[in-house]
Amino acid sequence: MPAPCEIAVKSLIPAIRAYIAKELIRTYKMKQTEVAYLLGITQTAVSKYVSNVRGQAVRLDRVKEIQGMMNEAVYKIADRKVSGPQLTLEICYMCRAARRTRLICHLCERVDPTLKNTLCNVCRME
């Protein structure tokens, strides 16, 4: 069975970053290079998020709790109130909250077809 964090690294974290990057560009009119600097990623990664090449495995904006957390992070990043380790911690909180909603269960099952999502509660135990 894959560890939920393994699935999250490939699906949830890119989805979180994609949402944040798009909002910083759309709402705060930031350039991709500035967004990349603020998020600690490359401009190429930002470009892939903005063009929907990456970060589309799950739709986090449909979950109100997660969307609120992402919007708060966007505001803090734009206002330069969070960066570096604190931003990483906030992304971890968002990831845990998203996992508790069972958003990635279907992805875990795709990686390990023997896994029965109805019996798995790993993400809900945190």
> What residue numbers bound the domain in which 53 lies?
4-125
Closest by Cα among 22, 7, 2 to 99? 7
The tally of domains found in the chain comes to 1
pLDDT for the residue numbered 116? 66
What residue has token string 């966007």? 74
Instruction: Compute the distance between CA of residue 76 and CA of residue 82 in angstroms, rounded to an integer.
Output: 6
**What predicted TM-score, i.e. pTM, was given to this entire model?**
0.87
Separation between Cα atoms, residue 10 and residue 42, nearest integer Å: 16
Contact 63, 103 (CB under 8 A): yes
pLDDT tens for each residue of the chain, 126 residues long:
667 788 888 899 999 999 999 999 999 999 999 999 999 999 999 999 999 999 998 888 788 999 999 999 999 999 999 989 999 999 999 998 888 887 777 777 777 777 766 666 776 665
